[in-house]
Amino acid sequence: MTQATGTARAAVRIDGAAPLSPAVVRELSELCDLVEGPGGPGLVVLAAGGAPGPSRDGLTTSLVTKWERTLRRLERLPAVTVAVAAGNVGGPALDALLVADVRIAEPDARLVAGTAGAATWPGMALFRMAHQSGAAAVRRTVLFGAPVGAAEAVAAGLVDEMTADPDAAVAEAAARFGGFAGPELAIRRQLMFDAVTTGFEDALGAHLAACDRALRLEREAAS
């Protein structure tokens, strides 16, 4: 995994073929530190590719837990996250893709669920795929590890678009959504997450608080 930063953008490559390790967790955590810090970039571009082999030597439940906590940070950043999927995408690369705000797939992209002996790897990627597109759409992937091609991923809502020119798609996403970065984006994203599992009455207070905050910010900007 490598990082490059600019005045308004952070870019990171997540290699799904590389085994999950403390170093991988640390690098993604450092990226989150950068974005969450003062003057952090408002756009994060994730290049996601590669899928792991069957061996999981050195992998522990503790390491998986740390990885999931770091992914949760990535999922809640005050920045727009754009992921580009290419080739087979599994393991850490698939995890990162599934938490991005905007997802772009090259035509050869395939979302690949890892295996664990005689079954698929029971990580949170299975949860995210089923949660985001419905169990019926990903049943064969979750149960039997059937890859999800780029066009199929778009149809299932796991990916936003398929393109042979990902650089142009990233530039378009940056132009369209880059202005939404900041704490307000993080608040709207959390409201969206909560809407799936929270009833109307329980959600009302959080939405009213967000509305009040938005009105105060508008008044402050106008004064």
Residue count of the chain: 223
What does DSSP say about strands 80-89 and 102-105: parallel, antiparallel, or unpaired?
parallel
User: For position 5, what pLDDT does the model report?
Assistant: 44
Signed CA dihedral, 11, 17, 20, 23: sign only: negative
Supply the pTM of this predicted model: 0.90
Q: Is the pLDDT of residue 6 over 50?
A: no
Spell 132-160 as b/e; 16+ CB within 10 A means b.
Answer: ebeeebbeebbeebbbbbbebbbebebbb
Query: Does residue 7 surpass a pLDDT of 80?
Result: no
CA dist., res. 144 & res. 72, Å (int): 26
Confidence band of 156 (pLDDT split at 50, 70, 90): very high
* Amino acid 118: pLDDT: 84
Q: Are 97 and 83 in contact (CB under 8 A)?
A: yes
Question: Any idea where the domains of the chain sit in the sequence?
Answer: 3-179, 183-222
Query: Which residue is associated with the tokens 């050195």?
Result: 58
Inter-residue long-range contacts of 133-138, CB under 8 Å, 24+ positions, other chains counted: 133/157, 133/158
Burial (CB count <10 Å: 0-12, 13-18, 19+), residue 21: middle
Identify whether the C-beta of residue 133 lies closer than 8 Å to the C-beta of residue 156: yes
Does domain 3-179 sit in CATH 3.90.226.10?
yes
